[in-house]
Amino acid sequence: MSLSYLVRRLLLMLLTIFVALTFSFILIRSLPGDPAERYYGDPRLPQEIKDEIKASFGLDKPVMMQYFIFLGNAFRGDLGVSFTYCQKVVPVIVSRLPWTLILTVIPTILSMLVALNTGVYIAFNRGKFLDRFMRFFAFSLNAIPTFWLALLMVMGLGFYAGWFPLQGMYDPLLQSGWQRLWSVIQHAFLPWLTLFIISTPAFSIQVRNLALNILGEDFIVTARAKGLVQSEIRRRHVLRNSLGPLFSFLTLRIAGLVGGAVLIETIFSWKGMGLLVLEASRNSDYPLLQATVLMTIVLVIIANFSADLLQAAFDPRVRYG
């Protein structure tokens, strides 16, 4: 991985973020009505007061000017003020991010750990019943609406069986830290389980295909010829060589979940980024909505960038011109 490649990717990433910012500015400006109108709301106000309020939002300036101010503020980390939260949007979003990460990162890593084993295992049993079954199962899961599965979980394990709390992130009546932590785990269990069920088979197939590719490589043939036993091959060569692509896959998957957690978060009333997007949409809080989506896009772009770097760093065969 050369320095020029790194710089080029970095520039490309910045350009992409810039494009996203511009698009979101155009989108917000093309809306009917403006934030000032939303703010005063009442048609009974005299025009001069309306104009004054408009000016206090900077809406009296020419559009290009507003655009540059917007860009300048954005690069300083200021994406405007949410009028439902009465504060700057960035701290609001930042306070939600950890919850989304708790929800998504833990089951993703767990299912990756499980998939590493099952995937390599079925790769070695390629073509047998288990392999076919797993592939069919993983494929069928693609067609199940995740939110419906989550609903069934809530209904079956939460409501009818009564094993888990149905919603929320913790029991607010518990005071001490450890009880809180335990409570968070209890509350997170069903969403974790849902995400785990959805991703493990898909990961396993991913690992399987990767392992099959590696198994076809020359050095594995050499290893076999050297008389290494299967478990040794599995450990020494297959796992190590699949690490790079898997890391990048993992990063992308988590990035995808941060964006796609809306449905799961809604069903479990988990107050993360996804629910924030939905909340902002329902309240027509456009600054918040725009900023949350923008932050999600930026996160995903950064994750992509790091996934590329990871892949390049781990795999000496990947060369970029």
Partner 1 sequence: MSGVRRKWKAFIGGFEGKVSLGILSFLAVLAVFAPWIAPYDPYDITQRDFPLDPPSLSHWLGTDGFGVDILSQVIYGARVSLTIGLFTGVGIAVLGGLIGVFAGTWGGATDMLTMRVVDFVMVLPGLPIMILIMTNLGSSFWVMVMIFVLFGWAGIARITRAVVLSERNRGFVDAARCAGAKKSYILFKHLLPATYSILFVSAAFAAGGAILAEAGLAFLGFGDPTLVSWGKMLNYARTYNAMILGAWWWIIFPGIAVFLASFSILLMGVGLEKMFNPRLKERER
Partner 2 sequence: MKRTLFLLLLLIFFSSLFASYMNVAVIGEIRSLNPYFLNSTAERQVIGYIYETLLSTENGKTVGLMAESWEVDLPNRVMHVTLKDQLFHDGKPVTAQDVAFSYNLTVQKRLPMGPVLAYFIRAEAVSERQVDLYFRVLNASVLSFVPMAIPVIPQHLWADIESPRDFPNTTNPVGSGSMMFNNLTPQTLTLDSFHEHPDAPKNIDGIVFHMVQDETMGFLGLVKGDYDYLYWNLDPSLASQLLSNPGRYPDIHVATTHGESVYVMLFNHRQAPTSDVHFRKAIQDALNYPEIVQKVFRDYAGLPYYGILPKTASHVVDEALGIPQQDLEKAKQALAASGYDGSTLKILCFSSKEYMDMGEYIKLYLSKIGVKVELDVKGHESVMAEMKKGNFDMVLTSFSLGFHPEMLYYYLHSSRGILQDGQVSGFNYGGYNDPDMDAILDRIWTTFSEDELKESFFDLQARIKQTVPMLPLCVPLQLEAYSTRNFDGWLVSETEGVFNTQTLQNVTPK
Q: What is the binding site for partner 2 (CB under 8 A)?
A: 32-33, 39-46, 49, 52-53, 56, 81, 83-88, 159, 166-170, 172-173, 175-176, 266, 269, 271, 279, 283-285
By a kind-dependent CB cut-off of 5 to 8 A, residue 279 interacts, out of partner 1, partner 2, none, with: partner 2
Please write down the long-range contacts of 287-290, taking CB distance under 8 Å and 24 or more positions apart.
287/28, 287/35, 287/79, 287/80, 287/81, 287/82, 287/83, 287/89, 288/82, 288/83, 288/84, 288/85, 288/89, 288/92, 290/24, 290/27, 290/28, 290/79, 290/80
CB of 101 to partner 2, least distance (A): 15
Residues 6+ apart with CB under 8 A from 40: 49, 50, 53
CB of 115 to partner 1, least distance (A): 19
| Amino acid (one-letter) located at 6 | L
Q: Are the C-beta atoms of residues 115 and 198 closer than 8 Å to each other?
A: no
By a kind-dependent CB cut-off of 5 to 8 A, residue 259 interacts, out of partner 2, partner 1, none, with: partner 1
Contact between 274 and partner 1 (CB under 8 A)? yes
DSSP β-ladder status, 81-82 and 87-88: antiparallel
What is the three-class DSSP state of 271?
coil
Contact between 292 and partner 1 (CB under 8 A)? yes
Beta bridge partners of 81: 88
Site string for partner 1, 198-237 (x = CB under 8 A): ----------------------------------------
Point out which span in 66-74, 84-92, 200-208, 251-259 binds partner 1 (CB under 8 A): 251-259
Binding site for partner 1 (CB under 8 A): 12, 16, 19-20, 27, 30-31, 127, 139-140, 142-148, 151-152, 154-155, 159, 255-256, 258-260, 262-263, 266-267, 273-274, 277-278, 281-282, 284, 286, 289-290, 292-293, 296-297, 300-301, 304
